[in-house]
Structures are given as structure tokens and as C-alpha cells.
Amino acid sequence: MSTSKAITLTLFIATTLLAPCNAAANATTKPLFPAILIFGDSTVDTGNNNYPLPTIFRAEHFPYGMDLPDGKANGRFSNGKLISDIIATKLNIKEFIPPFLQPNLSDQDILTGVCFASAGAGYDDLTSLSTQAIRVSEQPNMFKSYIARLKGIVGDKKAMEIINNAFVVVSAGPNDFILNYYEIPSRRLEYPFISGYQDFILKRLENFVRELYSLGVRNVLVGGLPPMGCLPIHMTAKFRNIFRFCLEHHNKDSVLYNEKLQKLLPQIEASLPGSKFLYADVYNPMMEMIQNPSKYGFKETKRGCCGTGFLETSFMCNVFSPVCQNRSEFMFFDSIHPSEATYNVIGNRLDPLIRGKFQA
């Protein structure tokens, strides 16, 4: 065989063998969605609360963000990534989602998506009155400003194509129940039974996602409630709870709300042509971590890593607070918010469900 034929044959074999590998690599690195858009509260707020002056809940100080690549606080209520960042990374969109109110957003930031969430927000507008957060019902106005900027970058048609195909995360609810029903009973006179207030919140949620749909959103992940009776600050608020047991009646409330939400989302999807809605279960993974902590590498599930772990959050968790050495062993970073390790477990659960729903 001549040298030229040998080289040609070698190249053919190499190309044939490597083609599937390259295809597989492209399949794993290509983003499943062109952009990711985030709405909700502190579980997904990547820093919007750094900017409005009146907001009470902020995480722009140490020890928040201490395990981020640069070790600096940037508004995320955790030691590292939030669940929204983890999802964005798994979907190959971007590693960190910037807050929309960040003043120096690049065109690329806009193209691949931003966060509109605000710590302390809820579906109930009354919630944000006490926390001075950006109300969930107000976040679509920020979204409209985002769409206008996106159109300015790529034009109207391409902008709406990005919005139609973007992955949208909605995560809120706990603040409504904790601030308006359990700790400060401002809604109990109007809704003497928790089921009535749940229905009110779910109606607000439905109106919110329908508004997002009217603006072009089609692919939506909606988070359920966590086991609220197991949040460290919530256990602390019940002074007789010296053994720090989870408050089971509040957990039952979370379960009932989540069951209602799981029934509601398919109904919304059926009424909105071209839409896809997926329920994000955070309750069961978190209960599994609480009941079997060693399976997930946790040694502490009843208090946060910051300070005593019983009360500290936001400004109370600060540079003067002692911080645990092994954050990955703590389920919670402060008295309300999960650690990055917890978000990683939840992200690993959600990733195949997202792909199964939205790749189909």
C-alpha cells in the first residue's frame, strides 16, 4: 500500500472513531436552553437586594459567599452557589446567574439570562411590605425592562425566540407562611384555616405564571415548599422546643400545599398552549437529608453553620459570627438558608427530571 493511501486510510479510521466521541461531547456541552430566568425569594436571589436602599435582607457581607471561587459575598444567601446557579451549570447555560439590578451587566449576561428574585419576597404582597423586598408581583416589571434590553441587542424576533425557549425558575412561598401566618399572624383573621391561605397563595402564584406566559415564557420550573417545621429559626421560635424537634404540624401544612401545587400545575399547562410546567420537589429530598444525614455527608441538620445557627441570618450572620469549619457537613448555612452542599443534592435530583420534561 502506498504511503498516501495509508495516510488516507488512517485519517478515515481516526475520523470515524472520533466522530461519535465529538458528537457525545457536543451533546453534553450544548446548552439545553438559550437562557435561564429566575423569579422568587432568597433561595434564588443572586444579589438583587444589594441595590434597592430600603431592603432589610441582604447577604453582601462575610461569611456569605465564603466558598465561592473569589471567596467574596455577592448577595447569595449561602456559603456558595444557590440552587439556581447549580441548575444553570448542569444545563450548560452559565455557572453563575447575575442579578438584573447589577449595574454593569454585559450583553452576554442579558443574552443568557438573569435573576429577578428578591430576598424576603412572597406571592402575597403583604409579605414584601414587612421586608421591603421586591414583590414577586413586581418582578414581571423588571422582566419587561429585561426584554426591552434584549430586543435592543438582538432585535424583536430573536429576543422573543430566546424568551420562548428560555428555562424559567420560580421559587417562593415560605416567607408568606412564616411572616404572615406563623410568626406574625397578619393573615389569620382573614384566613382562620391554613388551607384558605394556601389557596390564596396558589391563586397568586397562578396569576403570576400566567403573566409570565403572556410575556413569552413557556418552560417553567415551580418550586414547592420545604419542610418549614424543620427550618432552624422556626424551631427556635418555639421556645419550648428545647430538643429541637421539627414542628410536624407545619410540615403537614407544607405537604398539603405541595399536593395542591402538584395538581394545579398540569391544569395551568393544559390551559396555556405550548407551555410546560414542572413541579420541583424540595420537601422530600430535604426530609431525607434530615432523617438520614450521614448518607449525604451531613453531621448537623438542626442548626446553621453561621453563629449559634439558631437565629442568625442576614445582618445577624456577619463578620463577627463564628463559622463552622466544614460547611459541607451542615445542611443549613444560616438559620434559614441551605448550604451549597444541600443545594447540590437537590440539583442532582432535579436535573434528570428537567431533562425528561423539557427534552421530550
Catalytic positions are 42, 334, 337
Contact (CB, 8 A) for 247 and 234: yes
HEC per residue, 185-241: CCCCCCCCCHHHHHHHHHHHHHHHHHHHHHCCCCEEEEECCCCHHHCHHHHHHCCCC
| Residues forming beta bridges with residue 170, ordered by sequence position | 39, 222
Neighbours of 193 (CB within 10 A): 9
Integer-rounded Cα radius of gyration of the chain = 22
Helices in the chain by DSSP H: which ranges?
A: 3-29, 83-90, 107-112, 125-131, 139-154, 156-165, 174-177, 194-214, 232-237, 248-271, 283-291, 340-358
Q: Is 240 exposed, middle or buried (0-12, 13-18, 19+ CB in 10 A)?
A: exposed
Contact (CB, 8 A) for 64 and 35: no
Neighbours of 245 (CB within 10 A): 12
